[in-house]
Structure 1
Amino acid sequence: MPFVSSAFLADVPPRPQAASGAFLAALAIAQMGAFLAFMPLLTILAPLKAAAIDPGGKAWILAQVGFWGALVAGGANILAGALSDGTHSRFGRRRPWLIVGAVGTAASCLVIMRAHTAFGLVGGVLLFQLCLNLMFGPLVALLADQVPPAQRGRAAGFIGLAPPAGAMTGALLVGVALPQEGVRYAVVAGLLLAAMVPVLFLARETPTGPRIFRLARPHRLGTRRPFRLTRDFAVAWLSRLLIQAGITIVSLFTLFNIQDRGAPPGGLAPEALLGLLVIGSSLVQIAASLAGGFLSDHLRRRKAFVLAAGLLVAAAATLLAFSADWRLMAGAFAIFGAGYGIFTAVDAALITEVLPSDRDAGRDLGVSNLANTLPQMFAPVLGAALLQTAAGYAWLYLAAGLAAASGGLLILAIRRAR
Structure 2
Amino acid sequence: MGDEGFPSRERGLGDTAAARHRAPTAFMLLYALAYTGLFVAFIPFFSLLLPVKVEAVSAADRVALLSRITLVGALVASVSNIAFGALSDRTYRTRGTRRPWLLAGLIMLIGAYAIVNLAGDGTALLLGVAVFQIALNAMFAPLIAIMADEVPDDRKGVMAGLLGIAQPVATLAGVGVTLDFVSGKAAQYALVCLATAALILPLLLFGREGALPVPPTAQANGGRFQRRDLALAWAGKLAIQVAGTAVVTYFFFYTSDLLRGEANGQARARTIAWIMAAATIVAIPLALACGRISDRIGRRKPLLAFASAGMVAGLALMAGAGRWEVAAIGYTAFAATYAVFIALHAAFTMQLLPSPAHRGRDLGFFNLTNTLPNVAGPLLALLLVGGASTFPILWTAAAILCALGGGLLMLVRGQQ
Instruction: Name 1:376's counterpart in structure 2.
Output: 374
Question: Structure 1 residue aligned with 2:24, among 20, 25, 28?
Answer: 20
Letter of the 2:163 partner, please give it.
I
* Greater alpha carbon shift after TM alignment, 7-16 vs 259-268: 7-16
TM-score, normalising length: structure 1: 0.88
Report SS of the residue matched to 1:392.
helix
**CA distance 1:147–1:32, shift in 2 (3 Å):** same
Contact 2:290-2:340 within 8 A present in 1 as well: yes
Q: Distance in 1 between matches of 2:290 and 2:297?
A: 10
Deviations for 1:162-219, whole angstroms, at most 9, x for unmatched residues?
A: 111112222332466634211000111111112111111333237xxxxxxxxxxxxx
* Greater alpha carbon shift after TM alignment, 45-54 vs 272-281: 45-54
Q: Distance in 1 between matches of 2:226 and 2:180?
A: 45
Question: Structure 2 residue aligned with 1:115, among 99, 114, 119?
Answer: 119
Q: Distance in 2 between matches of 1:74 and 1:229?
A: 24
Contact 2:106-2:139 within 8 A present in 1 as well: yes
Letter of the 1:44 partner, please give it.
L
Instruction: Name 1:246's counterpart in structure 2.
Output: 243
Report SS of the residue matched to 1:9.
coil
Q: Distance in 2 between matches of 1:361 and 1:89?
A: 11
Instruction: Name 2:98's counterpart in structure 1.
Output: 94
Q: Distance in 2 between matches of 1:119 and 1:41?
A: 18
Q: Distance in 2 between matches of 1:100 and 1:275?
A: 30
CA RMSD of aligned residues (A): 2.5
Is 2:234 the counterpart of 1:255? Answer: no
Instruction: Name 2:289's counterpart in structure 1.
Output: 291
Contact 1:277-1:330 within 8 A present in 2 as well: yes
Report SS of the residue matched to 1:388.
coil
Contact 1:247-1:313 within 8 A present in 2 as well: no
Q: Distance in 1 between matches of 2:240 and 2:111?
A: 31
**CA distance 1:94–1:262, shift in 2 (3 Å):** same
Is 2:53 the counterpart of 1:57? Answer: no
Deviations for 1:350-379, whole angstroms, at most 9, x for unmatched residues?
A: 011111222211111111111011111220
Instruction: Name 2:336's counterpart in structure 1.
Output: 338
Q: Distance in 2 between matches of 1:308 and 1:143?
A: 24
Instruction: Name 2:203's counterpart in structure 1.
Output: 199
Question: Structure 1 residue aligned with 2:148, among 131, 144, 149?
Answer: 144
Contact 2:48-2:174 within 8 A present in 1 as well: no
Contact 1:77-1:366 within 8 A present in 2 as well: yes
Q: Distance in 2 between matches of 1:250 and 1:334?
A: 12
Instruction: Name 2:321's counterpart in structure 1.
Output: 323
**CA distance 1:107–1:353, shift in 2 (3 Å):** same
Aligned pairs for 1:305-320 within 5 A: 305-320=303-318
Contact 2:311-2:337 within 8 A present in 1 as well: yes
Deviations for 1:114-159, whole angstroms, at most 9, x for unmatched residues?
A: 1111111111000000011011100111111111111111111112
Q: Distance in 1 between matches of 2:283 and 2:180?
A: 20
Question: Structure 2 residue aligned with 1:399, among 397, 400, 415?
Answer: 397
Aligned pairs for 1:59-74 within 5 A: 59-74=63-78
Gaps of 5+ in 2: 12-18, 211-224
Q: Distance in 2 between matches of 1:126 and 1:12?
A: 38
Contact 1:255-1:270 within 8 A present in 2 as well: no
Q: Distance in 1 between matches of 2:378 and 2:179?
A: 21
Runs of 4+ more than 3 Å apart: 6-10, 12-19, 88-92, 174-177, 264-268
Identity of aligned residues (%): 33
**CA distance 1:237–1:89, shift in 2 (3 Å):** closer
Instruction: Name 1:220's counterpart in structure 2.
Output: none
**CA distance 1:349–1:12, shift in 2 (3 Å):** farther
TM-score, normalising length: structure 2: 0.88
* Greater alpha carbon shift after TM alignment, 317-326 vs 259-268: 259-268
Question: Structure 2 residue aligned with 1:351, among 349, 352, 355?
Answer: 349
Gaps of 5+ in 1: 1-5, 207-227
**CA distance 1:230–1:9, shift in 2 (3 Å):** farther
* Greater alpha carbon shift after TM alignment, 399-408 vs 329-338: 329-338
